[in-house]
Amino acid sequence: MSQPVLVLASHNQGKLRELRELLRGQVPGLDVDSQVIDAATAGATDPVEDQVTFQGNALKKAREIAASTGLVALADDSGLSVDVLGGAPGIFSARWSGVHGNDEANIDLLLAQLGDIAAEHRGAQFVCAAALATPDGGEHVELGQVEGLLRTERAGEHGFGYDPIFEPAGAGKSMAEHTPEEKNAISHRARAFAALLPAIVEAVSKALENN
């Protein structure tokens, strides 16, 4: 089997599939199914997300994974930014209610906080920072963003996190009402990874040459 050249700093298999599809056919000689791997396959431990920006967290994860594995590393950090809350929950999106990853509690708290806020003031953005780091110290960071507004009630069965209450601008439906394919075409993560693609292709091409 070909030696891995790129590690995604995540255990999320959905993210890994998205990355492999993004790179499929982009780099001559790259077998995305065996040479693009996740953190667990690489034997990497999860870095602590203790930075104060999406960019900072993504870059820290990419740096640490690249250093520990000797591979090109890609990481992302994302969340919801609400205008009337001054950009919160922001980097605290996944633990807004106090418990990391409790999507329902996070949504309940946010809806309660915005209970008296009129529709015209419920603007929000999904934001993603994607970072690339190479073992020789190379670094690149890109941002992806989706503008929208927050609904007053949940809608839709797809997605995760705040998707049921986030409506992308002009969509007329929540992110959770989009099919996975529709979401992947417009998501903040897809936009960040697409912006980073030239740097990923360059770094992976160099890694293949040195294999």
Q: Which residues are catalytic?
A: 77
> In 24-164, which ranges are continuous DSSP H helix?
32-35, 39-42, 54-69, 103-113
The identity of residue 139, as a single letter, is E
Cα distance between residue 176 and residue 161, in whole Å: 9
Overall size of the chain counted in residues: 211
Residues 6+ apart with CB under 8 A from 185: none
Binding residues: 10-15, 77-78, 160-163, 183, 188-189
- Order of all β-strands in the sheet with 36-38: 36-38, 6-8, 72-82, 123-133, 139-150, 166-168
CB atoms within 10 A of CB 122: 18
Binding residues for Mg(2+): 77
First to last CA, the chain: 13
Binding residues for substrate: 10-15, 78, 160-163, 183, 188-189
